[in-house]
Amino acid sequence: MKSKEENAHLIRTMWEAYHSDYFECCLKSFPNYYEFFTGGGVIDDFSFSLLGDVKGMRLLDTCCAGDAVQAFSWHNLGAKVTACDISPAAIDIARNNAEKMGLDVDFRVADAQTLAPIPDNSQDVVFATYICWYEDLRLACRNWHRVLKPGGRLLYRGVHPVAAVLGEEGGKLMVEEEYFDRKPDYYQFDATPAGRKYGVNVDKPTVNFRHTLADIINAICDAGFTLERVVETKAEREGFPQLSMLPHEMAVIAKAF
């Protein structure tokens, strides 16, 4: 079992090593990336409509990566966006892209669990994703609450924790992992499926963390938020009839007071 600092180091070094390949893969799977965002494009993300109009709002994206597709989409929806990532390589790529496209997004290197460079009471919206990389979800929620103005809203969206432990083979549903197992999951990161499709082969140790649905909701409430809405999406996955009957992604909207 490693310390929090060792775990954060493993995650940062893996993403530092992988990031330029990761962004190359993004460009291959999204060839009109630059035209799309300069033309005012907004990616298809089920959670984007949940907040209503974000025009003029200060919005923090906690985990943007080099592609920053959500950050650029929020920008194109009219929000004033600050976007963070723990990896300096990710932020360099995202900043270069913003400059190339003339999009005004403030990119910062920051751990989404602490948000050190982000002042208290400075945001109208926190958009939080990818909590599998966060060891301390409760600390993260307290800092998301800290940076929000009173009345500001958190939009969390991610894979539904039940969907994360299920698989399907030949029409048969399988529970692949213990839902309640919260031990850190150490593994050798090769690449995302998209990366492997394009011949990228990273080989770096890293770690992920599992959070149950109750862990997520309780961490948000205990940080001082009031829940407004929990949304579950249905998985519509071709070739996976069993998984298609179950939830796939989820979102939470909560208000800070």
Contact residues: ligand SAM, CB under 6 A: 11, 15, 63-65, 67-70, 84-87, 90, 111-113, 129-130, 133-134
Which CB, 84 or 235, lies closer to ligand SAM?
A: 84
CB count, 10 Å around CB of 14? Answer: 20
CB of 221 to ligand SAM, least distance (A): 22
Which CB, 192 or 242, lies closer to ligand SAM?
A: 192
In terms of DSSP H, where are the helices of the chain?
4-29, 33-38, 69-76, 88-101, 137-147, 193-197, 213-222
User: Which position has the token pair 């060839």?
Assistant: 31
The answer to whether the CB of 15 falls within 8 A of the CB of 86 is: yes
Which CB, 82 or 129, lies closer to ligand SAM?
A: 129
CB of 171 to ligand SAM, least distance (A): 29
Which CB, 34 or 180, lies closer to ligand SAM?
A: 34
The answer to whether the CB of 177 falls within 8 A of the CB of 208 is: no
3-state secondary structure (DSSP) of residue 169: strand
In degrees and rounded to multiples of 5, residue 246 shows phi and psi of -120, 165
Which CB, 58 or 157, lies closer to ligand SAM?
A: 157
CB of 85 to ligand SAM, least distance (A): 5
As a whole number of angstroms, the distance between CA 177 and CA 130 comes to 18
List of E strands, 143-256: 148-159, 166-169, 172-175, 185-189, 204-208, 225-234, 247-256
Which CB, 122 or 242, lies closer to ligand SAM?
A: 122
CB of 90 to ligand SAM, least distance (A): 4
3-state secondary structure (DSSP) of residue 45: coil
CB of 232 to ligand SAM, least distance (A): 19
CB of 245 to ligand SAM, least distance (A): 25
As a whole number of angstroms, the distance between CA 146 and CA 47 comes to 23
Tokens of 151: 């009345």
Tokens of 49: 């409509």
The answer to whether the CB of 204 falls within 8 A of the CB of 17 is: yes
Tokens of 195: 């990366």
Which CB, 16 or 173, lies closer to ligand SAM?
A: 16
CB of 192 to ligand SAM, least distance (A): 7
As a whole number of angstroms, the distance between CA 93 and CA 254 comes to 31
